[in-house]
Amino acid sequence: MKTIKIVKIGGNIINDEIALHSFLADFAQLKGPKVLVHGGGKLASELAKQLNIPVTMIDGRRVTDIQTLDLITMVYAGKINKQIVAQLQAHNANAIGFTGADGNTIVSTKRPAEPIDYGFAGDVVTVNPQILTVLINNEVTPVFCAITHDANGQLLNTNADTIASEIAIGLSAHFSTELYYCFEKSGVLSDVTDDNSIIEQITSESYAQLKADGVIFEGMLPKLDNCFHALKNNVHKVHIGSTTMLFNSKNKHTSLQLS
Amino acid sequence: MKTIKIVKIGGNIINDEIALHSFLADFAQLKGPKVLVHGGGKLASELAKQLNIPVTMIDGRRVTDIQTLDLITMVYAGKINKQIVAQLQAHNANAIGFTGADGNTIVSTKRPAEPIDYGFAGDVVTVNPQILTVLINNEVTPVFCAITHDANGQLLNTNADTIASEIAIGLSAHFSTELYYCFEKSGVLSDVTDDNSIIEQITSESYAQLKADGVIFEGMLPKLDNCFHALKNNVHKVHIGSTTMLFNSKNKHTSLQLS
């Protein structure tokens, strides 16, 4: 099977135009099949403020009322996604922008209103890899924003890390999948105050220990849970680090494996 | 060759949620390959007002400064396009949303600043039908908004009627193309005050006469010029009327032919 890279980038790159353009120029040159998944960054909150739409966050997750859903659809699927696609085209990567509604690629279900009502937030139910596979085999690079649909006409705000892992899982029947989570650190740190304390290997066993010892906590837990969920569902490799890990294999970062 | 319908809908449908949903339910049921092209409607101007972005129109065309380009990218490629895609999916039409940047499908060039500076407005240079043809042969319905790119990373605001005719021309090497312009009237009228005065056939010869006689004027001229440009470039059939012409062949509308 051909190897495919599924790369998720977060707010630290999306929010910095120079960093984003530089990353996209490098990403376009990556050999072989690839998929890009991007988060939303701070632009949605800035625009919400301009439009007097209240921003409500619970445990770091956005509460998506109908106005906010319209807003993120404009910002994520419109401005950010299309600017990324246009930049990739300028560097000769034939990109196509996607929400989960496009090609019916990602179907999700609206999260139950109990115990916390997150509004139009979607939890992924199914990935349909057929159209993606056709496009990838035609040298197209799909670019996903963090929006899915319920297959009944409703768009839903969906966590970008989850989208990346679910796409990787969905493509694992057709490709040998490598999932890369790029964020502001060079990897998972054993000491959050020391950027050089990168844990280079985490197994499901050592992950249990790191959690028990309180070394890994808070925001890193759902990210790592996503990673192990992917590995348990046929994703071949998962890596966490800065974007440089994609372009220089000697760059220190965190690799995850089952055991 | 298979027949494909390229359907352009305008503001009268986009601006009316009930009409839009009803149209999309019918459009999804249309048999055979199809492409939808949509204009922007009044939503962009409404949002511009909320954000205090001045709206400048010259001869009915929007002047697209950089703020306006961001705005229309959010509204056309984000909110409107993705809502249409999600609705079509709900009716089992496997749609994918496109700007011209996606799949490098439509390359345009920024319109010269002389004699009138329309800002980031693009005139179509090339349509690349390869990826569209692959998708259409996989039963996907492409849904285009009125944005293209210059292949150097710049998105450009582009007339939706032109996009529809250029896509129809680009697909004519692979399909027998039928282009449908849907608008608020039932066809081209010989008397603008009488909605029943539909001219059912216009040839390039009768068009010259209708222009000379002042029967067809103003906004209809670029629309009809687009139609004849398409017919001269291998588009098989061109029709102008209300959306009902798509679903009821007995519905009166205007058909165009070369001579």
Q: How far is A197 from chain B (nearest CA, A)?
A: 38
Distances (CA, A) of B68 to A53, A132, B157: 20, 32, 9
Residue A218 pLDDT class (50, 70, 90 cuts): confident
**Confidence (pLDDT) at B58:** 87
pLDDT > 80? residue A157: yes
B74 at the A interface (CB within 8 A)?
Answer: yes
Chain A interface, best mutation among B18, B89, B106, B155, by max A CB count within 10 A: B89
Mean pLDDT of A139-155: 98
Query: What is the three-class DSSP state of B237?
Result: strand
Distances (CA, A) of B213 to A139, A190, A243, B208, B210: 53, 82, 65, 9, 5
Residue B155 pLDDT class (50, 70, 90 cuts): very high
Residues of chain A with C-beta less than 8 angstroms from the C-beta of B96: 96, 98, 102-103, 131
Residues 6+ apart with CB under 8 A from A86: B101, B149, B153, B154, B155
**Using the beta-carbon criterion (under 8 Å), do A86 and B138 form an inter-chain contact?**
no
| pLDDT 10s digits, A200-215 | 999 999 999 999 999 9
Residue B249 pLDDT class (50, 70, 90 cuts): confident
**Confidence (pLDDT) at A250:** 87
Residue B61 pLDDT class (50, 70, 90 cuts): confident
Mean pLDDT of A12-38: 97
Q: How far is B232 from chain A (nearest CA, A)?
A: 30
**Using the beta-carbon criterion (under 8 Å), do B155 and A83 form an inter-chain contact?**
yes
B73 at the A interface (CB within 8 A)?
Answer: yes
Scanning B218-237 for CB atoms below 8 A from A yields none
B140 at the A interface (CB within 8 A)?
Answer: yes
**Using the beta-carbon criterion (under 8 Å), do B87 and A140 form an inter-chain contact?**
no
**Confidence (pLDDT) at A41:** 81
Residues of chain B with C-beta less than 8 angstroms from the C-beta of A134: 134-135, 138
Quote the mean pLDDT of chain B: 95
Mean pLDDT of A87-107: 98
Q: Which of B51, B94, B104 sits opposite A104 (nearest CB)?
A: B94
**Using the beta-carbon criterion (under 8 Å), do B104 and A89 form an inter-chain contact?**
yes
pLDDT > 80? residue A60: no
**Confidence (pLDDT) at B41:** 81
B78 at the A interface (CB within 8 A)?
Answer: yes
Residue B120 pLDDT class (50, 70, 90 cuts): very high
Quote the mean pLDDT of chain A: 95
Mean pLDDT of A45-69: 90
Determine the Cα–Cα distance for residues A242 and A219; give it in Å rounded to an integer.
16
Mean pLDDT of A1-9: 97
Determine the Cα–Cα distance for residues B178 and A136; give it in Å rounded to an integer.
29
**Using the beta-carbon criterion (under 8 Å), do A153 and B86 form an inter-chain contact?**
yes
**Using the beta-carbon criterion (under 8 Å), do B89 and A101 form an inter-chain contact?**
yes
pLDDT > 80? residue A190: yes
Long-range contacts of A43-50 (CB under 8 A, 24+ apart): A43/A14, A43/A15, A43/A75, A43/A79, A43/A80, A44/A68, A44/A71, A44/A72, A44/A75, A44/A76, A47/A71, A47/A74, A47/A75, A50/B51
**Using the beta-carbon criterion (under 8 Å), do A82 and B104 form an inter-chain contact?**
no
pLDDT > 90? residue B202: yes
Q: Which of B79, B87, B134 sits opposite A74 (nearest CB)?
A: B79
pLDDT > 80? residue B116: yes
Cα B234 to chain centroid distance, Å, stands at 18
**Confidence (pLDDT) at A217:** 86
Among residues of chain B, what percentage have pLDDT more than 90?
Answer: 92
| pLDDT 10s digits, B207-239 | 999 999 999 988 899 899 999 999 999 999 999
**Confidence (pLDDT) at A47:** 94
Q: Report yes or no: B253 and B241 within 8 Å, Cβ to Cβ.
A: yes
pLDDT > 90? residue A259: no
Mean pLDDT of B102-131: 97
**Using the beta-carbon criterion (under 8 Å), do A149 and B86 form an inter-chain contact?**
yes
Distances (CA, A) of A95 to A84, A88, B101, B247: 9, 6, 8, 34
| Tokens 């204009």, located at residue | B39
Mean pLDDT of A13-22: 96
Structural domains of chain B sorted by starting position, each given as residue range(s) with its CATH number in brackets: 3-257 (3.40.1160.10)
pLDDT > 90? residue B179: yes
Determine the Cα–Cα distance for residues A11 and B79; give it in Å rounded to an integer.
21
Scanning A88-107 for CB atoms below 8 A from B yields 89-90, 94-99, 101-104
Amino acid at B41: G
| Residue (of A37, A40, A41, A39) closest to A7 by Cα position | A37
Mean pLDDT of B162-180: 98
B87 at the A interface (CB within 8 A)?
Answer: yes
Q: How far is A196 from chain B (nearest CA, A)?
A: 36
Regarding predicted confidence, which is higher, B60 or A224? A224
**Using the beta-carbon criterion (under 8 Å), do A153 and B89 form an inter-chain contact?**
yes
**Using the beta-carbon criterion (under 8 Å), do A86 and B154 form an inter-chain contact?**
yes
**Confidence (pLDDT) at B130:** 97
CA atoms within 13 A on the CB side of A61: 21
A155 at the B interface (CB within 8 A)?
Answer: yes
